[in-house]
Amino acid sequence: MSRAAVPGLPSRHPIGGQLPALYAEDDFAQRFTAGLDDVLAPVFATLDSLPSYFDPRLAPDDFLSWLAGWVGAADDPRWPEELRREAVLRAVDLHRRRGTARGLVDALRLVLGVAARVTGDGGATWSRTAGAELPPAPPGEVLVRVWPGDSGRPVDAERVHALVRALCPVHTGCRVEILPGPPSDHDDGR
């Protein structure tokens, strides 16, 4: 959709009606300003509804990609419109959790509609006692287990791997397992 020219859109503020009385009956002046009204009507309509352009729930579909880029949200024109709007709406929250297990699970659910569980801490280790021996090195791998979500759609392994690569911190190794259903609680993936 283009907001540059909308045929037949009436101007809410016609210029001809605001001219001095001398030009009120002048046919040329009225036709000239009517042409300007046709050009300015979309501008006024856009400005009158400007706050709705910044709300992803209300923004026009063609404006949504720009809004997604503005807040750094994931946006793919192939996604359904509702998903694109939700991604923009939740972008700040997802950015706040980026690099965490919860953030990865939320992003996988939002973007791909899959369920996931993340185990492992990427090799972080510490000691509570100053000067003590370091604890043994933990496994330096994060395990991301993914299975179909509530939508029932099959898991697209290529897209899961791409999203995990994009969101997993660079200093950690991430391994992805695609499962047919949710893992049992006692199954740790080893």
In the structure encoding, which two tokens stand for residue 102, read together? 């919860």
Tell me the C-alpha distance between 179 and 114, whole Å. Answer: 11
In the prediction, which pLDDT does 137 show? Answer: 66
In the prediction, which pLDDT does 167 show? Answer: 87
Calculate what percentage of the chain has a pLDDT beyond 70: 91
Task: Tell me the pairing of strands 114-119 and 141-148.
Answer: antiparallel
Name residues of the chain where pLDDT drops below 50. Answer: 1, 190
Tell me the C-alpha distance between 106 and 4, whole Å. Answer: 38
Model-wide pTM > 0.75: no
Question: Closest Cα to residue 63, out of 74, 72, 52?
Answer: 52
Collapsing DSSP to helix, strand or coil, 18 comes out as: helix
Tell me the C-alpha distance between 49 and 14, whole Å. Answer: 18
- In the chain the domains, ranked by start, together with CATH numbers, are 16-48 (no CATH), 98-183 (3.30.300)
In the prediction, which pLDDT does 74 show? Answer: 80
**Neighbouring C-beta atoms of residue 167, cutoff 10 Å:** 21
In the prediction, which pLDDT does 98 show? Answer: 87
In the prediction, which pLDDT does 104 show? Answer: 92
